[in-house]
Homo-oligomer: A and B are copies of this chain.
Amino acid sequence: MASESEAQRALQYEQTLMYGRYTQDLGSFAKDEAARLRLQEGDAPQPRRPSELLEYTQGRCAPCRVCALQCQRFLISKVGEDWVFLILLGLVMALVSWAMDFAIATCLQAQKWMYGGLDTNVLLQYMAWVTYPTVLITFSAGFTQILAPQAVGSGIPEMKTILRGVVLKEYLTLKTFVAKVIGLTCALGSGMPLGKEGPFVHIASMCAALLSRFLSLFGGFYENEARNIEMLAAACAVGVGCCFAAPIGGVLFSIEVTSTFFAVRNYWRGFFAATFSAFIFRVLAVWNKDEETITALFKTRFRLDFPFDLQELPAFAVIGIASGFGGALFVYLNRKIVQFMRRQKTINRFLMKKRLLFPALVTLIISTLTFPPGFGQFMAGQLTQKDTLVTLFDNQTWAKQGINDEFEYLGILEAWLHPRSNVFVTLVVFILMKFWMSALATTIPVPCGAFMPVFVIGAAFGRLVGESMAAWFPDGIHTDSNIYRIVPGGYAVVGAAALSGAVTHTVSTAVIVFELTGQISHILPVMIAVILANAVAQSLQPSLYDSIIRIKKLPYLPELGWGHHEKYNVRVEDIMVRDIRYVTLNCKYRDLQQVLHSTKMKNLPLVESAESMILLGSIERSQVGALLSSQLSPQRRLLALRQKVLSEDGHRLSDSSIRFQISTETSSGTPARPALRKPLKPALKRVPSSPADSPPAGSTDHTGIALKSLFCANAATEPTEAQSTASHKAKRVRMSIVEEMILGDKMTPTEVLEWEEQQLDQLVDFSSAKIDPAPFQLVEHTSLHKTHTIFSLLGLDHAFVTSIGRLVGMVSLKELRKAIEGSLTGKGVKVRPPLASFRDSTASTTEAETTALRQLWDRHQHHHMPREAGPGGDDDDNTPKGQ
Contacts and interface: CB of A to CB of B under 8 A. Distances in A.
A491 to B, nearest CB: 16
A514 to B, nearest CB: 5
A782 interface: yes
A369 B843 CA distance: 69
Specify which of A264, A515, A838, A860 lies most central, judged by the most chain B CB atoms within 10 Å of its CB: A264
Contacts of A294: 308, 310, 524
A662 interface: yes
Interface stretch (A23-31, A109-117, A124-132, A330-338): A23-31
Interface stretch (A440-448, A465-473, A847-855): A847-855
A52 interface: no
B279 A528 contact: yes
Contacts of A22: 777-779, 781-782
Contacts of A260: 263-265
A763 B875 contact: yes
Interface in A738-794: 758, 761-763, 766-767, 771, 773-774, 777-779, 781-783, 785-786, 789-790, 793-794
Tallying the copies of this chain within the complex gives: 2
A875 B761 contact: yes
Contacts of A851: 683
A170 interface: no
Given A73-B834, A846-B666, A307 B293 contact: yes
A662 B777 CA distance: 28
Given A531-B275, A802-B774, A789 B845 contact: no
B521 A295 contact: yes
B278 A306 contact: no
A307 B296 CA distance: 11
A856 B585 contact: yes
Contacts of A685: 880-882
Interface stretch (A347-355, A607-615, A708-716): A607-615
A620 interface: no
Contacts of A786: 19, 226
Interface in A355-403: none
A592 interface: no
B877 A688 contact: yes
Specify which of A83, A255, A863 lies most central, judged by the most chain B CB atoms within 10 Å of its CB: A863
A264 B268 contact: no
A248 B774 contact: no
Interface in A576-624: 585-586, 588, 608-609, 614-617
Interface stretch (A93-101, A198-206, A556-564): A556-564
A83 B527 CA distance: 15
Instruction: Classify chain A: how many residues form its interface, as a range.
Output: 35 or more
Contact of A849 (B82, B286, B773): B773
A836 B731 CA distance: 44
Given A32-B842, A520-B514, A524-B294, A774 B777 contact: yes
A659 interface: no
A1 interface: no
Given A524-B278, A565-B81, A875-B761, A860 B802 contact: no
Contacts of A286: 310
A283 interface: yes
A224 interface: yes
A698 B751 CA distance: 77
A307 B295 contact: yes
Nearest to A246: B523
A106 interface: no
B515 A265 contact: no
Interface in A269-317: 271-272, 275, 278-279, 282-283, 286, 292-296, 299, 301, 304-310
Given A563-B81, A864-B586, A857 B224 contact: no
A275 B82 contact: no
A221 interface: yes
A783 B23 CA distance: 12
Interface in A688-712: 688, 692-693
Contact of A306 (B292, B301, B662): B292
Contacts of A214: none
A105 interface: no
A737 to B, nearest CB: 32
A832 to B, nearest CB: 12
B585 A857 contact: yes
A835 to B, nearest CB: 7
Interface in A231-278: 247-248, 252, 255-256, 259-265, 267-268, 271-272, 275, 278
A272 B531 CA distance: 7
A519 interface: yes
Contacts of A279: 524, 528
Nearest to A588: B874
A97 to B, nearest CB: 16
A680 B850 CA distance: 10
Which 9 A-B pairs rank lowest in CB-CB distance, beginning with the nearest?
Answer: A28-B841, A616-B805, A82-B563, A685-B881, A774-B777, A773-B804, A275-B527, A520-B520, A761-B874
Given A24-B845, A683-B851, 19 more contacts: A22-B779, A28-B781, A28-B841, A28-B842, A31-B841, A221-B568, A226-B786, A248-B523, A255-B264, A261-B264, A262-B263, A262-B264, A268-B562, A294-B524, A518-B523, A519-B519, A585-B857, A608-B614, A616-B805
17 contacts: A25-B781, A25-B841, A66-B835, A248-B523, A248-B527, A259-B264, A261-B264, A262-B264, A268-B562, A292-B478, A609-B860, A609-B864, A665-B846, A666-B846, A685-B882, A773-B803, A863-B863
